[in-house]
Chain A
Amino acid sequence: MSLREFQRAIADFIASPERCARAMTGFAAETADFDLTERERRRLKAMVSDRRMSANCTLFRVNRLVPIFEVLPLTWRHLGAAAEKELHEFWRQHPDAVVQYGEEASRFGAWLEGRLSAGALPPGPAFDALRFELAAFDLAVTAETPLPGSATAAQRRVVRFDYDHMAVLRPAPGPVTPRRLRKTRWILLEVNDGGLCVSQMG
């Protein structure tokens, strides 16, 4: 299975600019894990040395970022300066790429929740945004389109907000932190024939 090993090796290098950099001075050590023929080794060396290899690495990261950023734009916004650091740590712990939007966003969401539970991230409006955006995505892809006025439980989600939901969902420009609420608020997300509808409960 020569081609199989070659593809595994290219994929590993594209996923790791650090590995590409190390290979520039120690190619043999960086490829010792792969069962490659001499021809494949020469090919790989030429490709890794190509100045355009860095663009491959960039594209890999862009392709991994897109599902998260598309599904969780508000979460990303409210994470602020922590977003990039959390993303890189998430990628380091989860080197396997997933390009299905919902799955990758859910994995990143679970990662953030874990970081919150572990005390590595402080509570904040990002977690309201996270719950809301994952629920909205889930509804958008899984809910049947209801007949007018007949939404069922499968077409609704209730999301908890600990921060002012208007400021979380429509953040003003600039680094403004939404106000923490004295009492938890519950927001209803519902699919109707026109799309997703958001309303406050109680």
Chain B
Amino acid sequence: MRPLGVGVLYNRALTELLLVRALPVDYVEIIPERCWTDRGPGARPRFVEHPRDRDTLKTLAQMYPLVAHGVGLSIASATRFDAEHVQQLGAWRRRFGVRWVSEHLAAVRVTADGVVDHHAGVALPLPWDLELLRLLVPRVRQAADILGCPLLLENGTVLTPVPDTDLTEVEFLNRLTAESPCRLLLDLHNLFVNSVNLGLDAYAFVRGLDLTAVEEIHIAGGNELDGIYLDSHAGACPPEVWRLLETVVPQAPNLRGVTFEFHESYFAGLGRDGLRRELIQAGQVWHSSRPEAGTTQGEIDVAAGVPASDR
């Protein structure tokens, strides 16, 4: 499948800007779970659509290529694999022509007090063990079969890593992508967060990773809470994330897109101009190594009258 270029993770603060094509983006990434209520396993119907969110997506799908970024699968939970959730993602992929589907390499659901789907409230630290690898490989295969496309999984952040694991995170990811149809969504801000909080060497991580498996990159900004740096999507990317992007993009031959994420509650601080600056800078990195792909961005820039100094 051909690369797309630079995209933005959709939130409601973006609706008007996207509908008038005011942003230099080649695609829009959506969080499907924001468009339905999940009434839980066993409920019929289990997934209840939000009509107005669905209508917005229909409109956006006519204007931009869409990609999906799921947040509810919890594929690394030892309790069970939620095939119904994947079926719902697959149905939406077909319905809206979604180009690819990503999820988090995360466990957020546990069994507690007899409740199978107890939500942990946070993504739990994962043990990079062969036991987890054996759990994930068949799940990723099953997910890819249901979706009709490879599943991209995103590296996460952790504050209290699980010690004494069988593999390092990089070794784990390389084994997972070698042994299953799993592809990677490499979140560079998450890498940066772990480098700040844990002293992890982000460049060593990138050097060790099989970058041929990386098909999407996330970039974002964060902020501090009580001395901890958070992946809060709080605005502009820090300089270190740009440097990582400049390092990784030329080395990832199967990369299809770079997505900028921010939380809508920070839009006032970022502003339309600030958002455009992030997207344009990402576009410059993208085009420096892939001049043939992602042409929409240039067209939109011209149409929207972006000053030459912005490019």
- Among A50-58, A121-129, A158-166, the stretch in contact with B: A50-58
Could you tell me if A141 and B125 are in contact, using CB atoms closer than 8 angstroms? no
Would you give the shortest CB distance from A34 to chain B, in whole angstroms?
Answer: 11
Could you tell me if A60 and B53 are in contact, using CB atoms closer than 8 angstroms? no
96-113 of chain A: CB within 8 A of chain B: 96-100, 102-103
In the complex, chain A residues whose CB is within 8 Å of the CB of B52 = 140-141, 143-145, 191
Is A142 an interface position by the 8 A CB rule? yes
Could you tell me if A7 and B51 are in contact, using CB atoms closer than 8 angstroms? no
A98 and B226 in contact, given A56-B160, A143-B52 (Cβ under 8 angstroms): no
Contact of B127 among A6, A8, A96, A98 (CB under 8 A): A6
136-181 of chain A: CB within 8 A of chain B: 140-145
Is B38 an interface position by the 8 A CB rule? yes
Max chain A CB contacts within 10 Å: which of B51, B79, B113?
B51
Is A3 an interface position by the 8 A CB rule? yes
Contact of B110 among A11, A50, A144 (CB under 8 A): A11
In the complex, chain B residues whose CB is within 8 Å of the CB of A8 = 110-112
What CA separation (Å) do A8 and B121 show in the bound complex? 12
A145 and B55 in contact, given A7-B77, A12-B112 (Cβ under 8 angstroms): yes
Contact of A14 among B51, B111, B120 (CB under 8 A): B120
In the complex, chain A residues whose CB is within 8 Å of the CB of B311 = none
What CA separation (Å) do A4 and B124 show in the bound complex? 12
Q: How many A-B residue pairs have CB under 8 A?
A: 115
- Among A23-31, A40-48, A74-82, A182-190, the stretch in contact with B: A40-48
Could you tell me if B107 and A141 are in contact, using CB atoms closer than 8 angstroms? no
In the complex, chain B residues whose CB is within 8 Å of the CB of A140 = 50, 52
Name the residue on B nearest A70 (C-beta): B265
What CA separation (Å) do A60 and B51 show in the bound complex? 30
What CA separation (Å) do A143 and B225 show in the bound complex? 38
Could you tell me if A39 and B164 are in contact, using CB atoms closer than 8 angstroms? yes
Could you tell me if B125 and A97 are in contact, using CB atoms closer than 8 angstroms? no
Would you give the shortest CB distance from A193 to chain B, in whole angstroms?
Answer: 10
Name the residue on A nearest B126 (C-beta): A7
Could you tell me if A56 and B51 are in contact, using CB atoms closer than 8 angstroms? no
Is B1 an interface position by the 8 A CB rule? no
A96 and B115 in contact, given A39-B164, A141-B50 (Cβ under 8 angstroms): yes
Max chain A CB contacts within 10 Å: which of B77, B79, B115, B159?
B159
In the complex, chain B residues whose CB is within 8 Å of the CB of A97 = 118-121
In the complex, chain A residues whose CB is within 8 Å of the CB of B112 = 8, 11-12, 96
What CA separation (Å) do A6 and B135 show in the bound complex? 14
| Chain A interface SS verdict (over half) | helix
What CA separation (Å) do A100 and B34 show in the bound complex? 9
Could you tell me if A47 and B160 are in contact, using CB atoms closer than 8 angstroms? yes
33-84 of chain B: CB within 8 A of chain A: 37-38, 48, 50-53, 55, 77-79
Could you tell me if A63 and B127 are in contact, using CB atoms closer than 8 angstroms? no
Could you tell me if A14 and B78 are in contact, using CB atoms closer than 8 angstroms? no
Could you tell me if B160 and A50 are in contact, using CB atoms closer than 8 angstroms? yes
What CA separation (Å) do A59 and B225 show in the bound complex? 10
Is A198 an interface position by the 8 A CB rule? no
Max chain B CB contacts within 10 Å: which of A8, A103, A143?
A8
What CA separation (Å) do A53 and B78 show in the bound complex? 22
Is B310 an interface position by the 8 A CB rule? no
Is B228 an interface position by the 8 A CB rule? yes
Is A71 an interface position by the 8 A CB rule? no
In the complex, chain A residues whose CB is within 8 Å of the CB of B119 = 96-99
Is A15 an interface position by the 8 A CB rule? yes
Would you give the shortest CB distance from A131 to chain B, in whole angstroms?
Answer: 20
B residues apposed to A, CB below 8 Å:
37-38, 48, 50-53, 55, 77-79, 107, 110-113, 115, 118-122, 124-125, 127, 129, 131-132, 135, 159-164, 197, 225-226, 228, 230
Known pairs A11-B124, A97-B119, A142-B51 / 13 extra A-B pairs, C-beta < 8 Å = A42-B163, A47-B160, A50-B159, A54-B226, A56-B122, A56-B159, A59-B159, A59-B230, A96-B112, A97-B118, A144-B52, A145-B51, A191-B52
Give the 10 A-B CB pairs with smallest separation, nearest first: A4-B78, A97-B121, A11-B120, A3-B78, A141-B50, A52-B159, A60-B121, A47-B160, A144-B51, A55-B228
- 20 intermolecular pairs with C-beta atoms under 8 Å apart: A3-B129, A6-B127, A7-B79, A10-B124, A11-B124, A47-B161, A52-B160, A52-B228, A54-B226, A55-B159, A60-B120, A60-B122, A63-B121, A96-B118, A97-B121, A98-B119, A99-B121, A141-B50, A141-B53, A142-B50
